[in-house]
Structures are given as C-alpha cells and as structure tokens.
Amino acid sequence: AEQCCVSLSVNPSRGLMDEKFIILVQKALPGFQLTIHASYHCEDGNSWEAFAHYTADAGGTVNVSQDTSLGGTYSGVEAMGLLWSLRPVPGSKPGLRLRKKNVQTPMEVTISVYQGHQTEGFVDQVPLASVLVERWYMAPGVCRIPITEEGLTATLFVPAGNGPFPGLLDLWGGGGPLVEYRAALLASHGIASLALNYLTPKTTMETGKMVDNQYFEKAYKFLQQHPQICDSRIAMLGLSLGSAFTLKMAVYSQVMKLRCVVCIGGSHVQPVDGSVEQVLGYMEKNSEKTRFTENNEMIWRDLLLPIPTDPSFKVDVGRLKCPLMLVVSEDDQNWPAPESAKDMKEMMERAGNSHLLTVLSYPNAGHLIEPPYTPHVRISMFRTVVMALWGGQMVEHSRAQEDAWKKILIFLRENLYDSTKPGATTLSHL
C-alpha cells in the first residue's frame, strides 16, 4: 500500500518512431525494486512485451536513460531497450515479425511499473502506474497518397509544408506486398518518398506478368513530374532484393539521373540485362545452394556465391556516377552483402570512382536493418510458407539500426540538398 503513489512519466509520450524518449519513475521508496514493462498489441492480433529490472535511488527515482537494468529482456543502461527488446509474449506462434501495416495510426505501447523484479505473469497483475505512448511513422502534416497512375502500385508520402522537396524511390525486398513505413518516416524527415510495389503490383496480379525495368523508370518520372518534388534531386533506396534493382537502374538507366543511392543488405550479383523475372530466375536456378539450420530455417546467402567473375552477372558499379552508400550486416544469413560490398569496392577502385562509395559495416547485425528501435528478429516467417534465418544478435543489431539510420539520413541530406559547407559532397556531374 505504501507504494500506491509511484509516478511514471514518458517524455515525449507522442513522438516519431526514431525519436528517443525518457522514462522516469518517481516517488518510490529508496532502494525499492521495480520492473518496468512495455506491451504492444500488433495489428495482426499478436502481443509483444519487454521488461527490465531496476532499483530506485536514494531519492526514490529511476531514470531509464541513465540507470542500469539489472535483468529482463535487456540489461545495462539502455534508453530505448523497452522498444528494441520487445518480443512475442510466451505462447505466441513462432516466426513473428513486428511490422506496422497502417502508418496512419500510431504504434501504441503501454509502459507500466510493477512492484518487485518480475519476469512473467504481467497480465494477471495490477501495475503501480501505466502510461500509453504513441509512436508515429508519419509526422503531423505528412500526406499519404496512394498512386495508381501509369500502371504503378505505390504510395507517396509528402512532407509537411510547401516544398519543393527532394524525392526518393523506396524499394523493399522479396516479401511481396507494399511496405510503407520506411517511406513514411523518410517523409517525416523532409524527403518526399515513394514506396513502390514491384513484385505484386496490380498489373502483375491482373495479367500474371511481372513488371519490366521501365516500371522503375515510370516511378522515377512520376516523382520528377510531381509539382512538390524537385526534379533534379531524387535518390533511390533499396533493401535486399530491392537493392539489386536500385544498383541496376542507377548504373544502366538512361532515364534515371539519381543524386545518390542507398543499398541495405544487397548485392550487385544478377544477370545485368535481366528483368525482375530473370533476376528471380537466376536465384531460383541456384536454389540447390540453400542451406538449412537444424531447425529447418532457410539460409539463402549462398545463392549468389561465389561472386562471379563473368561481367555479365554483376552490375558494373565502376560506371556509377552518383554517391553510393552500402549498409552491410556481417552476420547477414540471407544475402551475401559483405562479400558483395568487398567486390563492389574493388570494382570501383579499379574504375577510379571509389570516392563515391561509403560502406557501413556492422558485426553481429542481421539482414533486416530497419528504422531504429524496431525489434530484432533473427528468424521469421517469409511469404507465409518458410522460416527464413536473417541472422544477427539483438544488442548489436539494435545498435546497427540506430547508427545506420542516422548515417543514412545525413548521407541523403548531404546529397539531396545543395550544401555550402566546405568539404561537403560536391555534385559536379550534375
């Protein structure tokens, strides 16, 4: 009863997905042991939780951004641990991945304080205090516009304000449907971003035919012609399979004049004159190189190995004319990103354009480098049929996501805005 007046605050209680918050517990007894718990009910009906054990200081206070967690789903001083260590509650089905489908509503996380150092049974207890926290991909004023013209299946996110804004074409990997949350978050940072569905767009669903490479050029032209987008300041970002087409279009397209390119967990290995269907076919042809863990999780990284010497099977990055950032996870079990990055670097050094290359490499990070504080999943259900092993260790992977996002935003800003500061990236070719 003496603990009934514990107070809990989270600041800001409403913020962007990549914003840090401060969790403060006050008015506890000095030395009081408590558990801070986070719970999230996903749109797919699954529940996730994280928790950590703390001891109140002499003033009866716990500040999560300064104090040490003594145990739980993470330990040590971790300001955002209650988000990045979220995991499916006990008894959940295996292979879950936390992904926000509807970016027009916030991720609502309940932060609660419980008495004592607890590890289970949270649902059956009454917390001493609780706060509902809203985490948004869309900042106030960002517009979400579904795009169907020109045969495109895409969603455009336009930043708040009048513009004109720099633009970005955002490609995800082989999972299929349209993924919007990264484009929404980029627009929240001032870049008009088009999330493009290139594997299961309406035209493919209706005709059974996969899109050709002109589909990407149509998306680029759509951005170029948009009244709120600056037509000479467009970038492209691809993850996984998306990076294959990002690299291909950046090097070979006569139409796309990109300011810069970001590739996360990808490779230049592919039939260089191949369509989407042919790139997938090339991988399919190597499917006997798939490995399995003892739990039957699939490891696909060998499908593109060894890196070919035949130039018709890798994008000639030596011809690239715009800055390229590669985000590489050294424990990527899905794509041979480290080997590919090494080969791309060598190709660019030989061609004399390696000054355009930035490589971010993260030990013990897995394939899925997502926006900050997204919970790490080492394994998840892929296309509802197989378990894919992505790799990575939770703490290092979480650090990598935070660091990479910060550096991606800086790289995009430096290349998409005219910069006057000395030593900034100069864009003489434009």
pLDDT above 80: residue 245: yes
Catalytic entry in 170, 331, 332, 343: 332
pLDDT above 70: residue 5: yes
pLDDT above 90: residue 176: no
CA distance 326 to 391: 18
pLDDT above 90: residue 65: yes
Q: Residue range 239-243: average pLDDT?
A: 97
Q: Supply the pLDDT for residue 175.
A: 81
**299 touches 292 (CB < 8 A):** yes
332 is catalytic: yes
Cα separations in angstroms, 308 against 256, 270, 274: 27, 9, 16
Sheet holding 229-239, edge to edge: 143-147, 154-158, 192-196, 165-171, 229-239, 260-264, 324-329, 357-362
- How far out from the chain centre does Cα 227 lie? 28
Q: In a 10 Å sphere around its CB, with 0-12 CB exposed, 13-18 middle and 19+ buried, how is residue 76 labelled?
A: exposed
Q: Residue range 160-176: average pLDDT?
A: 93
268 is catalytic: no
180-230 per-position pLDDT tens digit: 999 999 999 999 999 999 999 999 999 999 999 999 999 999 999 999 999
Q: Supply the pLDDT for residue 381.
A: 87
pLDDT above 60: residue 421: no
pLDDT above 90: residue 413: yes
Q: What is the band of 419 on the pLDDT scale with cuts at 50, 70, 90?
A: low
pLDDT above 80: residue 108: yes
User: What letter does residue 72 receive in the DSSP assignment?
Assistant: B
Q: Supply the pLDDT for residue 177.
A: 85
Looking at per-residue pLDDT, the higher value among 373 and 2 belongs to 373
pLDDT above 50: residue 427: no
Q: Supply the pLDDT for residue 4.
A: 65
Catalytic entry in 39, 85, 240, 267: 240
Strand partners, 90: none
Cα separations in angstroms, 346 against 316, 341, 357: 11, 9, 11
Mean pLDDT, all residues of the chain: 94
Catalytic entry in 367, 376, 380, 398: 367
Sheet holding 62-63, edge to edge: 7-11, 22-26, 62-63
**400 touches 408 (CB < 8 A):** no
Q: What is the band of 375 on the pLDDT scale with cuts at 50, 70, 90?
A: very high
Domains (range + CATH), the chain: 7-136 (2.60.40.2240), 143-416 (3.40.50.1820)
Q: Supply the pLDDT for residue 1.
A: 42
pLDDT above 90: residue 428: no
